[in-house]
Amino acid sequence: MKNLYAFIIAVLIFNNLFSQTKFNLDKSVVKWTGKEITTKIHFGSLKLTSAEINFLGDKITGASFKVDMTSLTVDDLTGRGKASLEGHLKSDDFFSVEKFNNSSLIVTDSEKKNDGYYVLKGDLSIKGYTHPVEFTLEKISNGFLSKLTFDRSKYDVRFRSGSFFQNLGDKLILDEIELEVTLIY
């Protein structure tokens, strides 16, 4: 009987140390923001198809996220402008969604900065290209908030990019895409 109690206590301690957090994907959201060289800003959302964070105590030991690129929406426009920009962003000029309908992020390293705030490193895969990224993750009351900025030119997203074309003037679209991800339990 003594061994049974010791085993149960060991299992409880193990579960508290090694845990995996999965999120409510219907409530979690990925917001994107892209900017032109002028003050024109477009923003929208994407849906997660999976999101998991693994912990050892309060240290993040790994995480993975998958995004459904077919869910890409434009939220700052309505009507024909909205439909047109969504179609363009899904085309080969941008994210080639028909060929590459998922993007992913695999966390490879983490550093806890203070209570509930982490700096994470990982591999972001978009359009078949994978590059390292660094981003923040912050504990909020009902989940986590993450902010990540990536350079679209590294993923062969060329349309009106200064990394590929010169003399675009006020037609230049900045290469940095900002993501804000809210993960809800």
Q: How confident is the model at residue 167, as a pLDDT?
A: 84
pLDDT at residue 12 greater than cutoff 50: no
* Model confidence pTM above 0.85: yes
pLDDT at residue 7 greater than cutoff 50: no
Q: How confident is the model at residue 141, as a pLDDT?
A: 94
Q: How confident is the model at residue 8, as a pLDDT?
A: 45
130-181 tens-digit pLDDT: 999 999 999 999 999 999 999 999 999 999 898 888 988 888 999 999 999 9
Cα 47 from Cα 135, distance rounded (Å): 19
Q: How confident is the model at residue 81, as a pLDDT?
A: 96
Q: In 3D, which of 165, 150, 173 has the Cα closest to residue 88?
A: 173
Q: How confident is the model at residue 10, as a pLDDT?
A: 42
pLDDT at residue 3 greater than cutoff 70: no
Of 5-9, 103-107, 125-129, 178-182, where does mean pLDDT reach its minimum?
5-9
45-72 tens-digit pLDDT: 999 999 999 999 889 999 999 999 999 9
Cα 159 from Cα 100, distance rounded (Å): 17
Average pLDDT, the chain: 90
Q: How confident is the model at residue 122, as a pLDDT?
A: 98
Residue 40 CB-density burial (10 A; 0-12 exposed, 13-18 middle, 19+ buried): exposed
Is the Cβ–Cβ distance between 121 and 108 less than 8 Å? Answer: yes
